Amino acid sequence: MQKKLLLITLLLLHIYSAKAQKEYYFPEETFSNDIPSPYSYLGYHVGEWHTRYDRLVGYFQLLADKSDMAELITIGYTNQLRPLVVLVISKKENISNLEYIRTNHLKLVDPTLPMPDVSGMPAIVNLAYSVHGNEPSGGEASILTAYWLLASQSDLAKEIRNNAVVMIDPAINPDGRDRHTNWANMHKGTPPVADPLDREHNEIWPSGRVNHYWFDLNRDWLPLAQVELQSKIAWYHTWYPNVVGDFHEMGTNATYFFEPTKPFGSENPVIPRKNYEEINNKFAAYFAKALDDIGSLYWTKEVFDNSYPGYGSTYPDIQGGLGLVFEQASSRGHIQSSQRGDITFQFTIRNQLKTSIATMEAGVKEREYMHKYLREYFQTAITEAGKDKAKGYVFGDETDESRNRLFLKLLLDHKIKVLENDKDIISEGKSFKKGKSWIVPSSQPQYRMVRTMFEKVTTFSDSVFYDASSWTMALAYGMPYATQTIVSGKEIKELPSQTLTFPADGKYVAYMVDWSDYFAPKFLHHLQSAGVHVEVTAQTFTSNTDQGSKEFPAGSLVIPTAFQKLSQEELRKALKEAAVLAGQNVFASTTGFSLKGIDLGSGSISAIQKPKVLMLVGQGTSQYEAGEIWHLMDTKVGMPMTKVDLSMFGRVNLFDYTTLILTSGNYSSISPSQIAHLKDWLSRGGTIISMRSASQWLQSQGIVQEEFVTAEEAKGPESVPFADSRNLSGAQEIGGSIYLGKLDTTHPLGFGYKNSEIPVYRNTTLFFKPSKNKSQTPVRYSANPLLGGYVSPANLEKIKQSSSVLVSKVSQGRVIHFIDNPNFRGTWFGTNKLFFNAIFFGNKM
């Protein structure tokens, strides 16, 4: 009897809470019973717990199984092998006809095809959530949005099902989202604690914001350094959505933000004004109404940057669609106090749900308009290209096939048309070899992406940048390029095949590999791992090789057949494996007597020590920089690297390692005894690779003695109204801009570079003077260094007097200071080799 009563009470409670939940999210809706509710699958109401990604996908799979209006597709996998899924929802006829809808929609993207009749074409709406894993309300809202769209009997839901194909991407960053999900759930109290200081609201390092490699995926839509965005962009170009919603969270004390963003200052120069001035306002009316209906406050037109093409809300704008950023004040956890009272997780989810529905509604109501805009966008791209002085660009580095291929791949991934170059060209004083360079015509539908890749922008309508102010990808890849007036050649559709050179069986004195290729470090690492003894030349020589006379510049690898622990056969096997793996050409010589320059037994050729690298990570260090280095060593070299938490540094014996990496950060927690150990190890031959502000710490501890630039500040205004103070301080920052560096190609840090001009990426206001040791500043700046982006005149003066990379000799050891970040966002292929050189040749500096 008692048991029965309890059951009835529980049942009543359950009905009551289900009703309360429905009233909170959907007060006036009637739902079909054929579609399972989130509660029936999850066993809790959306917002009561953070939903694990596998359960989120599980619910989507259930919807696809139960409904003929839904289909679940897998577009890729994360680093931790979570599936990246898209739930497609539309009326039954559309779901069974998706391929026809898709190919018909793609006709809009190609202005050479006749314009299709758009009146019957559904809107393609992509709702993409939780690209920042610790901004979880989006992913939860995706559950409710999918349920509403499939189950609601309302006229609006029917209209959307009939006139749109909705593609729901529950989390662009599932690995990071689960990191945060587990964090929030494992600290949830009963009752939950709203105090912002509670552990639930303060994640440890690395935060859920970033992916497996600690990358911010909302910066990766342009670089495509990460698997998540590689999959997403490949999928994107199969659909070219009309509208893309990108759902974020911001500080707990804020309200809600939707576009339009700040006029001019935070807009991208290649995007048509119509997008900002007309379309954004059209859509904003829907979002305002949706939030007004539930009395939620919001703001528009202030801050939030919309210019960098690597954002999920900007890239669609450069693809003829409308990208929309939404920002919800975060409860970061289940409930958190704010200046306006407690913010619940449910509250944040409801706002995202309402704007999700409004995005679909606007997409459907403005359907024909958006289809016509999509066509117009690609048509005007060609008209605008016709007015551009640059009819195209020629690019290619004849010494680095791998870097050419990486850049070609980036262009092809973004659907940019590329032509083969079948003649030797000299343009703007640079020469481009036939077969080793390519041409990108301006006149093509992706003209605006062509500009994004090649154009250098140095004038701006604003001086405050939320992020980068320059993103010229050709410079990031260190790619020689020039404008072209005549563009012709055969279009390439895929990466050209690669043919490698390897010496025939024979008796050789040594094998040789040029260090100029991007993947040469991968080759070296695999040889060293196989136990091969490898040497490097500090001077150029010309050898009589199996392929004839060949010059080997400084940095080239020499593998003598003597002094090896491996048999000749084993050595060849190791060489071949490494060459195939890294795509390297191997040469061999039967004599140590060179045709020109030093001989193979010269003192300028020395053994390469196998590096053993330790990087300090964890609270206090930069998760982005550390992630960039980890990703670089994993994916570009394949070298294991020990990551030690800063709090564990006291247990490290540095003498077990050759190299210590310090990223930007706060190292004040390192104890005096560990600093003494560090100094001892350094002075006995250790190598420290120090990034940006870590160099400041080394300086403050007296470990290095360098000097800062102390240029007089430019005279600013006497006083500034308080309301403008934020803008003034923003203008003094260096938000991310590109400079021309001067590289000493004879320095071990410059090995593998033929050109002394090197673009570098700077986003710091740290100015180190060149080293007093005249030969230890491998990268300084050219006389007029600014290549792209915003910098204040005072900062530009300081840059001219400072250095980009310098080396401090400390007794037998050295510190290599990278004041500019050579690995920025996994996309600075042009400067990565400086970093590789620091790893492999550090002890030669």
Which residues of this protein are in contact with Zn ion, per CB under 5 A?
A: 132, 135, 248
d(CA 197, CA 688): 36
Q: In angstroms, give the least distance from the CB of 130 to Zn ion.
A: 9
Whichever of 135 and 455 has its CB closer to Zn ion, that residue is 135
Determine how many CB atoms are found less than 10 A away from the CB of residue 728. 14
Residue with tokens 């308009």: 369
* Closer Cβ to Zn ion, 248 or 833, answer by number: 248
> In the complex with Zn ion, which residue's Cβ is closer, 310 or 480?
310
CA distance 101 to 499: 41
In contact, 332 and 347? CB cutoff 8 Å: no
- For Zn ion, give the closer residue by CB, 135 or 178: 135
CB of 218 to Zn ion, least distance (A): 6
CB of 824 to Zn ion, least distance (A): 19
Q: Which residues contact 817 (CB under 8 A, 6 or more apart)?
A: 690, 695, 704, 706, 768, 805, 806, 807, 808
**Minimum distance of Zn ion from residue 135's CB (angstroms):** 5
Burial pattern 797-812, b for ≥16 Cβ within 10 A else e, equals bbbbebbbbbbbebee
- Residue 348 or 771: which CB sits closer to Zn ion? 348
Q: Which helix (H) or strand (E) holds 177?
A: helix 174-186
Q: How far apart are CA 839 and CA 821, in angstroms?
A: 15
CB 247, min distance to Zn ion, A: 8
- Alpha-carbon span 713 to 259, nearest angstrom: 37
- Closest CB to Zn ion among residues 138, 785: 138
Q: Is the dihedral of CA 384, 388, 394, 400 positive or negative?
A: negative
443 class by beta-carbon count within 10 Å (0-12 exposed, 13-18 middle, 19+ buried): middle
Q: How many helices (H) and strands (E) does the chain have?
A: 24, 32
Q: Which is nearer to Zn ion, 200 or 327 (CB)?
A: 327
Shortest Cβ distance from residue 141 to Zn ion (Å)? 14
509 closest CA partner among 535, 531, 487: 535
Q: Where are the alpha helices (DSSP H) in 396-470?
A: 401-413, 447-454
| Residue 113: both structure tokens together | 């095809």
**Smallest distance from the beta carbon of 139 to Zn ion, in angstroms?**
12
Cis peptide before 191 (omega within 30 of 0): yes
Residue with tokens 């005894």: 673
The residues pairing with 559 across neighbouring beta strands, listed in sequence order, are 511
User: Nearest distance from residue 328's CB to Zn ion, in Å?
Assistant: 10
Is residue 788 a contact partner of residue 472, using CB atoms and an 8 Å limit?
Answer: yes
**Between 307 and 442, CB nearer to Zn ion:** 307
User: Which residue is at the shortest CB distance from Zn ion?
Assistant: 248
For residue 395, which of 478, 298, 316, 465 has the smallest C-alpha distance? 478
Smallest distance from the beta carbon of 72 to Zn ion, in angstroms?
Answer: 25
Pick from 382, 391, 399: nearest CA to 440 = 391
Minimum distance from residue 248 beta carbon to Zn ion (Å): 3
Neighbouring C-alpha atoms within 13 Å toward the C-beta of 419: 18
To Zn ion, the closest distance from the beta carbon of 50 in angstroms equals 16
Shortest distance in whole angstroms from residue 202 CB to Zn ion: 17
**Measured from the CB atom, is 159 or 467 closer to Zn ion?**
467
3-state secondary structure of 692: coil
| H or E element in which residue 656 lies | none
Cβ closer to Zn ion: 251 or 601?
251
Tell me how far, at minimum, the Cβ of 326 lies from Zn ion, in Å. 10
Of 786, 768, 767, whose CA–CA distance to 776 is shortest? 768
Which is nearer to Zn ion, 56 or 738 (by Cβ)?
A: 56
Task: State how far the Cα of 593 lies from the Cα of 22, in Å rounded to an integer.
Answer: 84
Residue type, 782: S
Q: Are 432 and 482 in contact (CB under 8 A)?
A: yes
Q: For Zn ion, give the closer residue by CB, 131 or 703.
A: 131
Counted residue by residue, the chain has a size of: 845
- Which pair of structure tokens corresponds to residue 305? 């940057």
When the beta carbons of 333 and 788 are compared against Zn ion, the nearer one is 333
**Shortest Cβ 138–Zn ion spacing (Å):** 9
Q: Cα–Cα distances in Å, from 309 out to 266, 312, 415? A: 11, 8, 15
Supply the minimum distance, in Å, between the C-beta of residue 470 and Zn ion. Answer: 22
Classify burial at 147, counting beta carbons within 10 Å of its beta carbon; exposed 0-12, middle 13-18, buried 19 or more.
Answer: buried
Q: In whole angstroms, what is the distance from residue 696 CA to residue 819 CA?
A: 10
- 79 burial (CB, 10 Å; 0-12 / 13-18 / 19+) is middle
Q: Whose Cβ is closer to Zn ion: residue 135's or residue 546's?
A: 135
Q: Among residues 248 and 371, whose Cβ is nearest to Zn ion?
A: 248
CA 333 remoteness from chain centre:
26
> Would you say 135 or 628 has its CB closer to Zn ion?
135
